[in-house]
Amino acid sequence: MTKKPKLLFYVQHLLGIGHLKRATTLARSMNSVGFDITLVSGGKFVPVIDKGGMEFIQLPEVRAADRNFSGLVEEDGSPLSNHTKQTRIETLVTAFERIKPDILLVEMFPFGRRMLEFEIIPLLERAISSNPRPLIVSSVRDILVEKVETKRTNHMVKMSKKYFDKILVHGDPQFIGFDKTFPKAFQISDLLSYTGYVVELDKINCESGGVGKDEVIVSSGSGAVGELILETAVRVRPHTYLSNSTWRLLAGHYMDTMKLEEIKDLAPDGIIVERARPDFIQLLKNCSLSISQGGYNTVMEVLACGANGIAIPYAGGKETEQTLRAKLLEDRGLIRQISEENLSDKWLVEAINQTKNWKNNKQNNLNINGAKNTANLLASLVFK
């Protein structure tokens, strides 16, 4: 192939921004090996996302109505309208027809994003009917939310076989295999390829500076649990061995501004409260301790930076993914974790003070080259 191959990447984040952050990390890596990248995002754009090196298309914003994923709402909180649905479908299909991608990359589907089928299926149908037909690839994280409905898992298998040429699992099978949370993985084993964990290794290896030196970095999402983590951190600081250190509390960009101001008012001297920052990796590289909500991106960045970490995994609704990953990492001595239901001043103080003489296992032996491996794998499929 002599022309620069084009890749269209669809991603939707519904609560936090982790899915979008992982997608842009992948997109920049794919751009570095010669792809012309267009990323289409259906969630709110936030300023900590680095969208350099790609065309970025923003769909009308859609997000989860609540932490139980009871439905979809628009930017103003109103129920998702048919007009917005149609606008999103038309924008997606129009982008596909304009770009004529060599690869269509769809994040999470068919293993998630069931509520978005109204727009994903028309996009996939347009792709399989086009001439020439692009390669169609699914991008999925290592661990799925527990599924109890056989009908739902059968649907995932059916959609995988009908539409996709390749399913990229962004994990390490030596740590946890995809089959552990998707028991029917054997039915699509010919489609599966593991990439390793997606981490911004280029920034970890290149960034330098003293920001965050010896600080305690407390990072959270935007919901009620995120608020609780920050409020608890403010209260417990005087009771820890790190009471004389600067604590930097980072709130998710979806956190209500009034709530953020309330937490700022509670914070004494020595505690900085602000929104999440684009130099988060540099903060991790320099910190004494990371306390986080324990999402995929954060825990892998903690490991890659060699930081000591405490995770408080999100477990809202039927979410089990963060809890399982944190438990597996704790079993390997890589991080410590507190369950969401056990989060309290007492538990957090104990967890922090237990890290005083703790030397975590910096030789984590996990494959964290997922961004580069994904780019090279996709390049091997189109560069002839």
pLDDT tens digits, 241-296:
999 999 999 998 878 889 999 999 999 999 999 998 888 999 999 999 999 988 89
How far apart are the C-alpha atoms of 246 and 240, rounded to whole Å? 12
For the chain, what is the mean pLDDT?
Answer: 90
The whole model's pTM is what?
0.92
Which of 20-29, 205-214, 354-363 shows the lowest per-residue confidence on average (mean pLDDT)?
354-363
pLDDT bracket for residue 207 (50, 70, 90): low
Antiparallel, parallel or unpaired: β 72-74 and 166-170: unpaired
How far apart are the C-alpha atoms of 177 and 366, rounded to whole Å? 13
How far apart are the C-alpha atoms of 246 and 229, rounded to whole Å? 17
pLDDT above 80 (res 10)? yes
Which of 119-123, 237-241, 303-307, 372-376 shows the lowest per-residue confidence on average (mean pLDDT)?
303-307
Cα three-residue angle 216-302-223, rounded to 5 degrees = 70
In the chain, what is the greatest distance between 2 CA atoms, to the nearest angstrom?
Answer: 65
Q: At 37, list the tokens.
A: 């990248």
Task: Output the DSSP codes for 117-135.
Answer: HHHHHHHHHHHHHSSSPPE
pLDDT bracket for residue 340 (50, 70, 90): confident
pLDDT above 60 (res 222)? no
How far apart are the C-alpha atoms of 249 and 233, rounded to whole Å? 8
Q: Which has the closest alpha carbon to 29: 176, 136, 172, 170?
A: 170
* Residues forming beta bridges with residue 140, ordered by sequence position: 169
Q: Which segments of the chain are extended strands (E)?
A: 6-11, 36-41, 55-58, 62-64, 72-74, 103-107, 135-141, 166-170, 192-194, 216-219, 247-251, 271-275, 289-292, 309-311, 336-337
- Pair 218, 211: CB distance under 8 Å: no
How far apart are the C-alpha atoms of 365 and 121, rounded to whole Å? 38
- For the 204-353 domain, the top CATH level (class) is alpha beta
Q: What was the pLDDT predicted at 253?
A: 81
Say how many residues make up the chain. 384
Q: What was the pLDDT predicted at 143?
A: 95
How far apart are the C-alpha atoms of 305 and 200, rounded to whole Å? 10
- Pair 124, 163: CB distance under 8 Å: yes
Q: 119-167 pLDDT, tens per residue?
A: 999 999 999 999 999 999 999 999 998 765 778 899 999 999 999 999 9
Separation in Å, CA 130 to CA 12, 127, 134: 24, 5, 8
Angle between helix 321-331 and 296-305 (nearest 10) = 20
Q: In what order do the strands lie in the sheet with 216-219?
A: 271-275, 247-251, 216-219, 289-292, 309-311, 336-337
Residue 112 CB: number of other CB atoms within 10 A? 19
Residue 361 CB: number of other CB atoms within 10 A? 12
- Pair 53, 33: CB distance under 8 Å: no
pLDDT above 90 (res 211)? no
pLDDT bracket for residue 369 (50, 70, 90): very high
* Fold match, 6-199+368-382 / 204-353: yes
Q: 43-101 pLDDT, tens per residue?
A: 887 776 777 788 999 999 988 776 666 678 888 889 999 999 999 999 999 999 999 99
* Residues forming beta bridges with residue 73, ordered by sequence position: 63, 79
Residue 367 CB: number of other CB atoms within 10 A? 17
Residue 371 or 316, more confident: 371
Residue 210 or 376, more confident: 376
Cα three-residue angle 321-324-330, rounded to 5 degrees = 135
Q: What was the pLDDT predicted at 256?
A: 84
pLDDT above 50 (res 1)? no
Residue 261 or 17, more confident: 261
Which of 23-27, 336-340, 380-384 shows the lowest per-residue confidence on average (mean pLDDT)?
380-384
How far apart are the C-alpha atoms of 36 and 32, rounded to whole Å? 9
Q: In CATH, what number does 6-199+368-382 get?
A: 3.40.50.2000
Q: Where are the domains of the chain?
A: 6-199+368-382, 204-353
Q: 176-205 pLDDT, tens per residue?
A: 999 999 999 999 999 999 999 999 998 888
Which residues touch 75 (CB under 8 Å, ≥6 apart)?
A: 44, 60, 61, 63
